[in-house]
Structure 1
Amino acid sequence: MIKFRLLWFLLIFNTLVFAQWQAIGPYGGYVRSVVVSSANDNIVYAGSNGSPAIIAKSTNGGSSWNTVGSIPNSIYCMAIDPTNDNRLYAGSGHNLYRSTDGGVNWLGTSMSNKYIYGIAVHPSIPSTIYASGMSYTGTKWGIAFFKSTDYGVNWTTTVIDTSGSSNYGFCIAADRTNPNNIYIGGYSYVSSYIPRIYKTTNGGGNWVYLSADTLFNNAYYIYSMAVHPTNSNIVYAGTYLIKRNLPLNQWWTILDKKFFKLL
């Protein structure tokens, strides 16, 4: 009986791990960002690279797609209002765009001397939007946190890190169970590439450096992050070129040493 259970487990594991991916579109350029509705997981939006960048929408979980709108330049990131499927946000270089009609029409806010690479909506106060990227200080680019409290119309900027000759904030993740917890991942170049992760526990008022350069040996950049939807103590980060495993209860590698989980 034990052998049967083990075999059954191995069959299930093999099916889950080695299941093949199927291309379902939309076609016409590579996709930089995908967002799914919190209220209806059949509603999915995708934003493309290109000039113009295409916004496509699926209402059946990705089985089919329709182009609904576009913005002038490549989309680096997207976010969706958790209370309104038609309210979308997109970061595109020096601009932050917002739509209130499901991506058909967009209004842009110019972010002079700034780049936007990540965006997130406050889980319970949808008028509050967070973004990550970089801001020019007059002498160099610094990792930056951007915040809006009026649905993305006006933004404040907080420069977090200027330690390197160049500093990028590639991604941002907000904690659903404690929205004041926010993470920003990226890198600084200080004679070599040093991965950076910062955390705030007061909605962006203060930031703490989590010493990602030690935990992510030779990881170069932190490209993406996410917080577990029900457990604030579990945080995920995606990077590349990891060359060693790390102890449990710290950052440890899965998925071919390119993905980390913090316990």
Structure 2
Amino acid sequence: MRSEILKTITAFTGSAMLMLVIQGCMASTESLPAEKAFALSASALSGSERYEFAGEVTVLDSGGVVGGRSEYKGEVTLHGKLDMQWKASGVSPASHASGHTITYRPLQLLEAFKATTATISYVENPLPDQPVRMQIKLDDNVAKDRVVKQLKEEFALLRADKGLLRGDPDEAEKILRTSEAKLQAAIDTLRVKTDCQWTANSKSWFPSQMKEETVLNYEWDGKPCQEKRVSETNFLLKAQGGTMKKVNQG
């Protein structure tokens, strides 16, 4: 049950995107604040009529052992319509992509950045005509709320699974209530830290990659536990006619 905590664990809609892009083109990358550079990149993503993404999320236990790994891919069209599929590549229940919806959604990170004050800085000083890398630290309270929401969504899916009621519904309900109480006890002690690395093209500002590392610390049956989720998402801009447009520099 402890592994349940992490295993269950779209974008900026800037109406002023055009102004941001114009300002970004007028200013050199070196002089642009990291917060503004990220706003430009997030706007370039959300303002794209069509783009694809693909990635992988890995769940690690407190000893660094891989508890599950799943691949995902998707497409966003019409400035926000999302189509996403999962492919299980591990042996943990965290990798079960079939049968019910996986609550982890990589693009929701952008919503979290938009809704709160995140700490944004450059990984290194930007260079002309080179990809721009930014480090983004999510507010700890927001990071926890994000994980808790995913956990509760996953538990709701578990409760709605009619297969659990086969045999002895009363016993199944008893187990669910006990599990829910233990989950809530773990949530009450939960501390979460989320860091992200964002890479973007310094000319178009369209992102090429987003890496996330989320670390959870909590107590389970009175014992301290730590788990980690690491994900990497790669973006591809889809031009008119269905061809993929290269956005990387160098």
TM-score normalised by the chain length of structure 1 = 0.21
Higher helix share: 2
